[in-house]
């Protein structure tokens, strides 16, 4: 992965993990888990981002986005998610393919393309996997939600969104779990096993790993 692309993805990841709150700290191990990289890779990139003035690093506690870093992350996230919408709605790519292809384009888009794409798509509010798209003024509000892994047994819920992760999106696509679908959390399998959820329409039951459930957002 090239440094410029890595920087793009790291900034977007920090923004997502802090829910857009500049003062929220993110631990290196959270970033490493999210991006499937080693903690040492995160430490190296955080040093580069701190040198460029885009993050503040507090040893043993985590990192926060600076105003410069947050602006860059919001712009990159806006471009990325608008491209996802375009690939999904206009080119009929799956949400997984839309995500992976957008990664290759988002860091090169200029403001003229961004404005035109937003207008062409009629100013979408969310990307194909349910996450908010920053506005043209770089306002960013994440809808209040809960993680599937935190729901009490017996809860009926609607899927609001998924974490930006190609492996997760592919996994959920294979499982047939989609945005706006409604389910009931019926319980967990023994010995810290997966979560069991039942579709409200088809009554089909699925088993979802605890790790995946942590990155599935519900009402």
In tens, the pLDDT along 24-68 reads 789 999 899 888 889 899 999 999 999 999 999 998 889 999 999
Mean pLDDT of the chain: 89
pLDDT at 108: 67
Domain identity same for 179 and 133: no
Of the three residues 127, 142, 157, the one that is the final residue of a domain is 142
Domain identity same for 133 and 213: no
Domain identity same for 161 and 137: no
Bridge partners of residue 55, in order along the sequence: 65
Over residues 170-181, the mean pLDDT reads 93
Over residues 136-150, the mean pLDDT reads 87
Domain identity same for 169 and 137: no
Could you tell me if 208 and 199 are in contact, meaning their C-beta atoms sit under 8 angstroms apart? no
Is residue 205's pLDDT more than 80? yes
Domain identity same for 18 and 104: yes
Could you tell me if 188 and 162 are in contact, meaning their C-beta atoms sit under 8 angstroms apart? no
pLDDT at 166: 85
Domain that holds residue 116: 1-142
Q: Rounded distance, CA 179 to CA 182, Å?
A: 9
pLDDT band at 21 (very low <50, low <70, confident <90, very high): low
Over residues 173-181, the mean pLDDT reads 93
Neighbours of 47 (CB within 10 A): 12
Q: What percent of the chain has pLDDT over 90?
A: 65
Bridge partners of residue 65, in order along the sequence: 55
pLDDT band at 4 (very low <50, low <70, confident <90, very high): very low
- CATH code for the domain of 194: 2.30.30.90
Number of domains within the chain: 2
Is the model's pTM score more than 0.85? yes
Domain identity same for 180 and 138: no
Over residues 186-209, the mean pLDDT reads 94
pLDDT at 89: 95
Of the three residues 112, 142, 172, the one that is the final residue of a domain is 142
Domain identity same for 118 and 190: no
Within 20-147, strands assigned E span 55-58, 62-65, 146-147
Q: What percent of the chain has pLDDT over 70?
A: 95
Stronger pLDDT, 24 or 129, i.e. the higher one: 129
Is residue 113's pLDDT more than 80? yes
The continuous run of DSSP H or E covering 107 comes out as: none
pLDDT at 106: 62
Domain identity same for 98 and 173: no
What's the pLDDT tens digit per position in 73-101? 999 999 999 999 999 999 999 989 999 88
* 140 phi and psi angles, rounded to 5 deg: -145, 110
- CATH code for the domain of 114: 1.10.10.10
Farthest CA pair distance, the chain: 54
Could you tell me if 133 and 121 are in contact, meaning their C-beta atoms sit under 8 angstroms apart? no
Of the three residues 117, 142, 167, the one that is the final residue of a domain is 142
Is residue 5's pLDDT more than 60? no
Domain identity same for 48 and 121: yes
* 176 phi and psi angles, rounded to 5 deg: 80, 25
Is residue 12's pLDDT more than 60? yes
Domain identity same for 125 and 21: yes
Domain identity same for 116 and 155: no
Q: Rounded distance, CA 173 to CA 114, Å?
A: 28
Domain identity same for 161 and 138: no
């Amino acid at each position: 992965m090239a440094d410029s692309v890595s920087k793009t993805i790291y900034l977007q990841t920090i923004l997502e993990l802090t829910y857009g709150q500049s003062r929220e700290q993110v631990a290196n191990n959270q970033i490493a888990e999210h991006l499937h990289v080693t903690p040492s890779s995160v430490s190296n990139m955080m040093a580069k981002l701190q040198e460029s003035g885009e993050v503040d690093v507090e040893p043993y506690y985590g990192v926060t986005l600076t105003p410069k870093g947050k602006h860059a992350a919001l712009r990159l996230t806006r471009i990325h998610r608008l491209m996802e919408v375009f690939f999904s709605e206009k080119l009929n790519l799956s949400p997984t393919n839309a995500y992976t292809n957008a990664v290759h384009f988002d860091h090169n888009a200029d403001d003229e393309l961004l404005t035109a794409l937003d207008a062409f798509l009629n100013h979408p509010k969310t990307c194909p996997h349910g996450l908010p798209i920053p506005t043209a003024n770089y306002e960013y509000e994440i809808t209040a939600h809960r993680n599937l892994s935190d729901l009490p047994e017996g809860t009926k819920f609607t899927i609001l969104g998924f974490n930006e992760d190609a492996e997760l999106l592919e996994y959920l696509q294979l499982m047939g779990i989609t945005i706006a679908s409604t389910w009931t959390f019926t319980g967990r399998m023994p010995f810290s096993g997966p979560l069991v959820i039942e579709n409200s329409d088809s009554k089909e039951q699925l088993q979802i790993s605890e790790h995946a459930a942590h990155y599935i957002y519900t009402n």
